[in-house]
Amino acid sequence: MFRELRDGLSWAFVAGFGINFAWTSSVFFHSLLFTSAGHSFTFSNFYLASMAVLIVSLALMGVCFPVARKSFQKPPALVCAGIMLLVGTYGAANASFDGLPGIACFWAGVLFTGFGSAFMLGLWGWFLGTKVKTPAANMCAAYLLATPLYFLLSLLPASITVAVVGLLPALSLWVYFSFGRNTDDLPSMAKRTDAEAAEALFPARCAAADGEGANSPAPEASPIPRISIAAVLAGVVLSLMNYTPSGDGPSNFTFALYFLLASAVPLVCFLLYFQAYKGRSSAADRLVMAYRIAVLVMVGSVLLSIAIMDRNLAFQEIALAGYICLKMVFWSLFAALSRTAKLSPITIFCFGEGCLTAGLFIGNQISSVLGLQFASATAALTLAILLATYMFALPERKMYAMMQEQEDDDEPRHQRFRARCEEIAAAYKLSRRETEVFTLFARGRSSSRIADDLYVSSGTVSTHLRNIYRKLDVHSRQELLDLIEGAGE
């Protein structure tokens, strides 16, 4: 079991992303930089302004992914990012000064931490989606490193904490440069090109550039809108459950202790479940189970807060455990989409994390409007949004559809089968969409499952199947399979 744990983890990602998450928690989550009660107003403004900069920066990185990817390989860009985050961290820590120095520090902190955070999220998201085979297990291990590190930082004197926190991004980047930069891509990602990712992101523009007119096939439906909506709603839920700071609440040490206690047990359990479990469940089954547990835990914490009308220690621990699980699930989903949606991993992670951040921003504004006097209404709204996310925006069957293709691509047998299907499709001049339907149908999937996988209607799938049967001159699935087996002989 321990050998499987060791072999399945990317220690560069675990260490680098864990250190970066400890920095993020120290600056934004429940800031260790604003230690005085009189700094709560400054911190609230800093948090909102920095989140706005982060959202814009993530959107720009997602669109300009070729430039971002090249910057990840250039030492000067990594050095500039480390310096930017160092200056931003120290600027944020001194933003409460009076007069012009305080204003300068405030905006330096806002701009540099916002831009720098986007760079770090894009870097480690790209690494997770491109080079890490088991995203969920590695996310658990990274959080297991980050939470005790955050707790240790809360024990230090304020001046030492600020100094150490400012150096964490540079340490994270050093880990990436020394141990992760030359890590081989996964086989399914090794042949991915920027041109293909650009075509998936801007299908209409690329078709026009290639001279394709109105007769060109309709662009493929993308799972990005659905995952984006789900990410925004999840961010709103997390904010309404008081994960985002408001300047009040428990002390740094108390909050860090809650965070450590809440994360240790579920993270260890999930790490063993994802990496060392020998049962029959697939990676998709285990991720969906984690999603289900996260939702149940968060529903339980909301119901607990309604029942006792107080957000005490039990509520804090349960809610934080739900947060950790949900964050791990979404990043694992982003990694799965990186390998199936033909988009750049940078685009998927930046857009996804940007939507989560936008949800946090929206939820913060809702909380400030409702206030403590409407605590019951806030709890009811939180519960409604959470259930809507689970039932409609991101139901379990959609998660299975997003994960299934990744599992198939990881197995050489399915890769050979796909290659034979593509050879037949080329020989019989099937369109790109017909080729996808043909391959999935040959694997035994039903029309409704294919519709879910490709994000089209069942009627569209039936039309494609009729065209496929006509072009291949077959009349049943068995005849289609016989044709594929004949091509492989």
Query: What's the confidence (pLDDT) of residue 440?
Result: 83
* Alpha-carbon distances, residue 311 vs 249, 263, 296, 362, 379 (angstroms): 10, 18, 18, 21, 11
* Span 34-67, pLDDT tens digits: 654 445 556 778 888 999 999 999 999 999 999 9
Q: Give residue 347's pLDDT.
A: 93
Name the residue among 159, 23, 147 with its Cα closest to residue 82: 23
Tokens standing for residue 271: 């790490």
Rounded (5°) CA angle 264-266-272: 100
CB atoms within 10 A of CB 88: 25
pLDDT band at 217 (very low <50, low <70, confident <90, very high): very low
Mean pLDDT of 396-416: 64
| Burial of 354 per CB tally in 10 Å (0-12, 13-18, 19+) | buried
pLDDT value for 375: 73
HSE, CB side, 13 Å, CA atoms: give it for residue 237: 28
DSSP secondary structure of 72-114: HT-HHHHHHHHHHHHHHHHHHHTTT-SHHHHHHHHHHHHHHHH
Q: Fold for 2-404, please state it.
A: Growth Hormone; Chain: A; (1.20.1250)
pLDDT tens-place string over residues 81-102: 999 999 999 998 888 777 888 8
What pLDDT, on the 0 to 100 scale, is given for residue 151? 87
What is the rounded distance in angstroms from the CA atom of residue 122 to the CA atom of residue 109? 19
List where CATH 1.10.10.10 sits in the chain.
411-488
Per-residue pLDDT for 1 more than 70? Answer: no
Look at domain 411-488 and name its CATH class.
mainly alpha
Residue 404 has pLDDT above 80, yes or no: no
Kindly state the average pLDDT of the residues 311-337.
76
Token couple for 382: 């939180």
Distance of CA 153 to the CA centre of its chain: 26
Q: Could you give the percent of the chain with pLDDT greater than 90?
A: 31
Report CA-CA distances (Å) from 473 to 426, 456, 476: 15, 25, 10
Token couple for 249 = 């609440």
Q: Where are the alpha helices (DSSP H) in 248-312?
A: 252-275, 283-308
- Report CA Rg, the chain: 24
pLDDT value at 410 more than 50: no
Of the pLDDT bands very low, low, confident and very high (cuts 50, 70, 90), residue 246 is very low
H-state helical runs in 309-395: 313-340, 345-370, 375-388
Q: Which candidate, 318, 324, 322, 345, places its Cα nearest to that of 333?
A: 345
Mean per-residue pLDDT for 442-469?
Answer: 82
Return the C-alpha torsion angle 260, 265, 268, 274, nearest 10. Answer: -120
Q: Which of 288, 283, 289 is nearest to 410 (CA)?
A: 283
- For residues 348 and 406, the answer to whether their CB atoms sit within 8 Å is no
Q: Which range in 29-43, 144-158, 295-309 is most confidently predicted, on average pLDDT?
A: 144-158
How buried is residue 339: exposed, middle or buried, by Cβ count under 10 Å (0-12/13-18/19+)?
buried
Residues of the chain with CATH 1.20.1250.20: 2-404
